[in-house]
Amino acid sequence: MTQLEKLKLLLGITTKDITTDKEFILQFAIDKATDIIKNYCNISKLPEELNNIVLNIALDIYRKENLGSESEAIGPIRSIQEGDTTTTYGDSQNADQKGDLLKDYRSQLKPFRKLRW
């Protein structure tokens, strides 16, 4: 089973829901996750042991970056005023909202990390 097929299953995407555009977006998330890991670990080839971490990071990328949507992801609600209805959203690019994609995975990636000279 390929990484793309596994990611579809993890996201609950069935074959009737899938389009070429959505497959491209999912593959982009996998490729981006792979690049992030390779850059963090200073390696050129991804070990097989990191395949599940690639999928986890790809899931985070797909969900947090609102991929496939023309509009920017809406940040957290900062304030709500009910008289004349005002809702203020925070910045979606805010570090608190977006977070560091590697923060939960650093301990798992550390054994694969090589020093750069």
Q: Average pLDDT, whole number, for the chain?
A: 81
Tell whether 98 is covered by a domain.
yes
Which of 18-22, 49-53, 88-92, 102-106 is modeled with the greatest confidence?
A: 49-53
Tell whether 91 is covered by a domain.
yes
For the whole prediction, is pTM greater than 0.85?
A: no
pLDDT at residue 15, as a whole number: 77
Distance CA 5, CA 57 (A): 15
- Confidence grade of residue 94 (pLDDT, cut at 50, 70, 90): very low
27 burial level (CB within 10 Å; 0-12, 13-18, 19+): middle
Tell whether 28 is covered by a domain.
yes
pLDDT at residue 49, as a whole number: 94
Tens-digit pLDDT profile for residues 20-57 = 888 999 999 999 999 999 999 999 999 999 999 999 99
Looking at residues 86-115, what average pLDDT do you find?
A: 71
pLDDT at residue 20, as a whole number: 84
- Confidence grade of residue 109 (pLDDT, cut at 50, 70, 90): very high
Tell whether 117 is covered by a domain.
no
Tell whether 24 is covered by a domain.
yes
Kind of pairing, strands 86-89 and 77-81? antiparallel
Distance CA 55, CA 105 (A): 12
How many domains in the chain?
Answer: 1
Provide the residue range defining the domain that includes 107: 3-112
Whether the Cβ atoms of residue 84 and residue 56 lie closer than 8 Å to each other: no
pLDDT at residue 97, as a whole number: 39
